[in-house]
Amino acid sequence: MKKVLLGLLAVVAVCSCSEKKEAGTKAPIRVSTLTVSPEVTSNAQTYVGIVEESEGTAVSFTGMGVVRRVLVSEGQAVGRGQLIAEMDDTQARNLLSGAEAQMAQANDALQRYGMLHDNGSLPEAQWVEIQSKVAQAKSQLEVARKNLADCRLTAPVGGIVGQKMVKAGETALPSQAVVTILDISSVKVKVSIPEAEVNGIGTNTKTDITVDAIGRQTVGGRIEKGVTADPLTHTYDVRIAVANPDRRLLPGMVASVVFRGDGTTGTGRLLLPVTSVQRSADGSLFVWTVGKDSTAHRAKVVTGSTSGNDIAITDGLSSGQRVITEGYQKLSEGSRVVY
C-alpha cells in the first residue's frame, strides 16, 4: 500500500514540474521591423518641356504675284527641290519674250557690223556701243529667265510642312512665307530653368525625357543653354537634343524632363515611421529594437523634424539597427520576437 502511494506522489510531482516548465515558455511575438539607414536624397530635378523642331525654314517667293496653286499640305513630308507652289507667270513669260527679241536683235547687229569692223570701215566708238547693247540684252535675258523660274517655289531643304500661310488665289508678297518646312529628323525639347538652378546644368548633363502623347521614354543628348533670362519669370531657356528617326515626336508636344545631375547625396538623418516612436510614463521617447538574440529592447531616442509619415531620429540609434514598426503593443523588455 505504501509503495502504491509513493508511486502516485512521484507521478503528480513530475506532472507539476512539466506544467510549470510549459507555463514559463511563451511563444515569440510576430512583429514587423525596419533596418535603420541614413536618408539618401537624389539631386535629380523634373521640369515640363515643349518639343521643338531642330530647324525651321520659311519658304517664300522673291517677287509679288497671284498664287496659282499650292501643291503641299500641312504635315506632308517634302524633299529638297520638290515643287511647293506656283505663281501666275503670264507677265514673266511676256517679259522673257521681249528679252529674247532684244537679244536676237543685238546679236544680229553684232554680226552685221562685225564685218565692217573687221574691214576697218566702222569707227571704234560705234563698235563699242554695239558690243554694250549685246551685253545689256544678255543681262536682261538672264533676269527675265530668273523671274520666270521664280514663279515656281521649290523646297530648299527636306522636312515636314509645318504651316501653310498662303492659299491659291491670294497675292504673295516678296519674302512673305508661303509655307514653313520643319526638320524633325531630330528635335529639341525646350525647358525653362529658374536662374537659381541653371548653373547646375551643363552641356553633358544626363536627362530622361518622357512624352506621354506617344508613350515614349528616351534619353536626351547635348544641351544648349540660353544666356538671356526672361525678364518676368527670371528663367533661362535650355534646349535638349533628342533623336527622332521615326518622326513621331512633333513640335508642340509636352514632355517631362528629368535632369539627373551627378548622383545622390546623403543627409545623414535616420528616418523612422512616426508611429514607431512611443512615449514612456516619464515623457521620454523610445522605440523598440531587436537584439541579436531576437529579443525586444527599449531604446531612448531624440527626434527631429518630420517628413510626411516619417520622423528624423537625431540621437539614440545607429545605422544598421533593426527597429520594430508594427506589433509592439504586446511587447515587454526581453520579449522574444519573430519577423
Task: Give per-residue pLDDT as tens, 284-327.
Answer: 999 999 999 999 999 999 998 877 788 889 899 988 899 999 99
pLDDT for residue 40: 52
- Say which DSSP state 28 is in: P
170: Cα within 13 Å, side-chain hemisphere: 13
pTM of the model: 0.53
Which residues does 46 contact at the CB level (< 8 Å), separation at least 6? Answer: 256, 257, 258, 259
Query: Please, is 18 exposed, middle or buried when counting C-beta atoms within 10 Å of its C-beta (0-12, 13-18, 19+)?
Result: exposed
What's the CA gap between 253 and 184, in Å, rounded? 13
Q: For the chain, list the domains and their CATH numbers.
A: 29-41+265-338 (2.40.420.20), 48-54+186-264 (2.40.30.170), 89-150 (1.10.287.470)
Residues 337, 296: contact at Cβ < 8 Å?
A: yes
pLDDT tens figures, 47-59: 999 999 998 999 9
- The H or E element spanning position 185 is strand 177-194
pLDDT digits (tens, 9 = 90+) for 186-228: 999 999 999 888 888 888 889 999 999 998 889 999 999 998 9
CB atoms within 10 A of CB 315: 11
Percent of residues, the chain, with pLDDT higher than 90: 60
Cβ proximity of 184 and 54 under 8 Å: yes
* Cell 552685221 found at: 112
**286's grid cell:** 523610445
User: Mean of the per-residue pLDDT values for the chain?
Assistant: 86
Q: H-type helices in the chain, by residue range?
A: 2-23, 90-119, 124-149
pLDDT at residue 20 tops 50: no
Q: Does pLDDT of 21 surpass 50?
A: no
